Chains A and B, each alone.
Chain A
Amino acid sequence: NAGVTQTPKFQVLKTGQSMTLQCAQDMNHEYMSWYRQDPGMGLRLIHYSVGAGITDQGEVPNGYNVSRSTTEDFPLRLLSAAPSQTSVYFCASRGGGPDYEQYFGPGTRLTVT
């Protein structure tokens, strides 16, 4: 199993550009989520999905869109990049009940200039 994979690993965007961060998991997990990590802030939840076709907003959703057309994939779209979106982005997935651990991808380091 590859676990949770994210592409790209690094990305530099100019203000106003759009892009999609890719996330895929091969563990047949129903639950997937996106987090951003800023220095001194810990990880904050952007969007999550509890199954294919079902998504919802987390703590910091503004400027981001998600969709979940398959169980495996959960892409995060930046609509019009801003310097405030410079961060490290983590995708995560988990199975079953509330006690199941989150499996994290390796992260994408995004810089917006």
Chain B
Amino acid sequence: AQKITQTQPGMFVQEKEAVTLDCTYDTSDPSYGLFWYKQPSSGEMIFLIYQGSYDQQNATEGRYSLNFQKARKSANLVISASQLGDSAMYFCAMRGSGGGGADGLTFGKGTHLIIQP
């Protein structure tokens, strides 16, 4: 079974500061993918960034980067130069290798990030 743990229920950060959102995972799959999604107060799920378990380099997408430490089973999201519009719930999620035809994402419980001016 797969498990995602997000240990920060809520975070307050000053605008323009960098933010690190923690995510640890557990899986027995030899190959897997890790995702981060943003959910603003309007409720939609917005894809931010993806990291494959065999990717040699950490993923980056604009102001988002994923600090992937495979040995520690962590996949922290880093947001550089935070903005007021970054205030939202952030979810870490995992997809396994699809063994046995399985699909779908396993989500953590999320971190509520509030950016203060």
Contacts and interface: CB of A to CB of B under 8 A. Distances in A.
Given A42-B91, A104-B45, A107-B44, A99 B104 contact: no
Contact of A98 (B37, B47, B97): B97
A94 B12 CA distance: 33
Highest count of chain B CB atoms <10 Å: which of A35, A48, A58, A99: A99
A50 B103 contact: yes
Interface of A is mostly: strand
A99 B32 CA distance: 8
Interface in B13-32: 31-32
A33 B104 contact: yes
A88 B43 contact: yes
B52 interface: yes
A69 to B, nearest CB: 18
A101 interface: yes
Contacts, number: 65
A88 B89 CA distance: 15
Interface residues of A, number: 26
Interface in B68-103: 91, 93, 95-98, 101-103
Contacts of B43: 88, 106-107
A44 B103 contact: no
A88 B31 CA distance: 30
Given A50-B103, A98-B95, A42 B108 contact: yes
Given A42-B91, A45-B106, 19 more contacts: A41-B109, A43-B45, A43-B93, A43-B105, A54-B101, A56-B103, A90-B45, A98-B31, A98-B52, A98-B96, A99-B33, A99-B50, A99-B52, A101-B47, A101-B50, A102-B45, A103-B47, A106-B43, A107-B43
Interface of B: 4, 31-33, 35, 37, 43-45, 47, 50, 52, 91, 93, 95-98, 101-110
